[in-house]
């Protein structure tokens, strides 16, 4: 596999420099690259054919994790940094669950959370977690305009987001909610492979009652996706086996599953139940 000719390469050291570089290619011929673990494969196979690459490796302001009432994770933060973070609150531990098992060691040491969200692959872990944790994505454009999108509005479908070609993702925010817990788990054909099904759950509790819940899945037909029907069967209810089973049955019934070389649709529905039960119980335990 060989890429088409790439005529220009820029390695800026600030967000403003990166935006100025991408502005030179208004027709979408320029492309940002973060960790490059997915994008480089697409370039080599000519699925993506950029004229120019703007490499974000040296933009220090796009790295780091800040913990407070709101948790900020910069988009160039690598999976390994999230996986090794001991400061993440229980409500956001799904991030650590997912980042610990993305790809292999090389991918975890090079790949970034921002790259994963902007690529939005159908069977990716981090878009699923961003939905489950109600992430807010902060974007800045070459014109200087800034906007904030929820993960629900940013992630449109497999390999599709609401980011414009001249926009750069500059921050990802998560609320640090008391008495909340989250978890993520995936099942793949081998350890650390792409998920055949992945499940993220986030719950907030008041005693034995689930006051808030978000439940999202990856690896299905429509990529990373929430199931609001399942969430409605958890919110305001006692958290027990009956409410868990009802929610996961609703997820299996309402979400589109596919059959392919890795698993058929009925097996994916079974995985939604088994993984979902494990993830919900772990999230509930962490919320306590």
CATH, residue 46: 3.30.43.10
Q: Is residue 3 part of a domain?
A: no
Shared domain check, 66 and 161: yes
pLDDT of residue 194: 86
Residue 239 near residue 207, CB atoms below 8 Å: no
Shared domain check, 119 and 66: yes
220/218 Cα distance (integer angstroms): 6
Shared domain check, 199 and 156: no
Q: Is residue 89 part of a domain?
A: yes
226/214 Cα distance (integer angstroms): 7
Shared domain check, 159 and 77: yes
Shared domain check, 198 and 100: no
Q: Distance between terminal CA atoms of the chain?
A: 51
Q: Is residue 70 part of a domain?
A: yes
For residue 110, the tally of other CB atoms under 10 A from its CB is: 18
For residue 262, the tally of other CB atoms under 10 A from its CB is: 17
Cβ-based burial of 283 (10 A; exposed 0-12, middle 13-18, buried ≥19): buried
pLDDT of residue 1: 63
Shared domain check, 188 and 111: no
Q: Is residue 166 part of a domain?
A: yes
Range of the domain at 195: 180-287
Shared domain check, 35 and 134: no
Q: How many domains does the chain have?
A: 3
Q: Is residue 1 part of a domain?
A: no
Shared domain check, 199 and 166: no
If you compute the radius of gyration of the chain from its CA atoms, what whole number of angstroms results? 19
pTM over 0.85: yes
Residue 154 near residue 126, CB atoms below 8 Å: no
Helix, strand, coil shares of the chain, percent, nearest 5, are: 35, 25, 40
276: left (phi > 0), else alpha (psi -120 to 50), else beta?
A: alpha
Shared domain check, 130 and 70: yes
Q: Is residue 75 part of a domain?
A: yes
Residue 239 near residue 210, CB atoms below 8 Å: yes
pLDDT of residue 118: 96
Question: What tens-digit pLDDT sequence spans the chain (288 residues)?
Answer: 677 788 899 999 999 999 999 999 877 789 999 998 888 888 888 888 889 999 999 999 999 999 999 999 999 999 999 999 999 999 999 999 999 999 888 889 899 999 999 999 988 999 999 999 999 999 999 899 999 999 999 999 999 999 999 999 999 999 999 999 999 999 998 877 889 999 999 999 999 999 999 999 999 999 999 999 999 999 999 999 999 999 999 999 999 999 999 999 999 999 999 999 999 999 999 998
């Amino acid at each position: 596999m060989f890429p088409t000719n790439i005529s220009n390469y820029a390695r800026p050291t600030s967000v403003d420099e990166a935006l100025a570089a991408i502005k030179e290619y208004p027709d979408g011929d320029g492309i940002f690259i973060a960790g490059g673990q997915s994008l480089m494969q697409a370039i080599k196979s000519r699925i993506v054919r950029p004229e120019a690459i703007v490499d974000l490796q040296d933009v220090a302001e796009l790295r780091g994790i800040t913990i407070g009432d709101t948790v900020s994770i910069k988009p160039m933060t690598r999976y390994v940094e999230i996986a090794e973070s001991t400061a993440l609150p229980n409500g956001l531990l799904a991030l650590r669950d997912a980042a610990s098992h993305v790809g292999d060691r090389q991918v975890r040491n090079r790949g970034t959370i921002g790259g994963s969200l902007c690529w939005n692959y159908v069977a990716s872990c981090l878009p699923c977690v961003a939905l489950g944790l109600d992430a807010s994505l902060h974007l800045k454009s070459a014109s200087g305009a800034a906007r904030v999108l929820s993960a629900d509005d940013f992630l449109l479908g497999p390999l599709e987001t609401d980011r414009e070609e001249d926009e750069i993702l500059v921050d990802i925010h998560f609320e640090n909610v008391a008495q909340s817990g989250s978890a993520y788990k995936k099942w793949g054909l081998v350890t650390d492979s792409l998920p055949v099904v992945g499940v993220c759950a986030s719950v907030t509790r008041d005693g034995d009652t689930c006051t808030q819940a978000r439940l999202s899945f990856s690896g299905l037909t429509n990529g990373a996706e929430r199931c609001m029907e399942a969430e409605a069967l958890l919110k305001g209810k006692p958290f027990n086996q009956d409410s868990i089973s009802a929610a996961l049955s609703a997820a299996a019934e309402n979400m589109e599953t596919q059959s392919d070389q890795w698993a058929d649709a009925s097996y994916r529905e079974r995985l939604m139940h088994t993984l979902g039960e494990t993830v919900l119980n772990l999230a509930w335990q962490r919320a306590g």
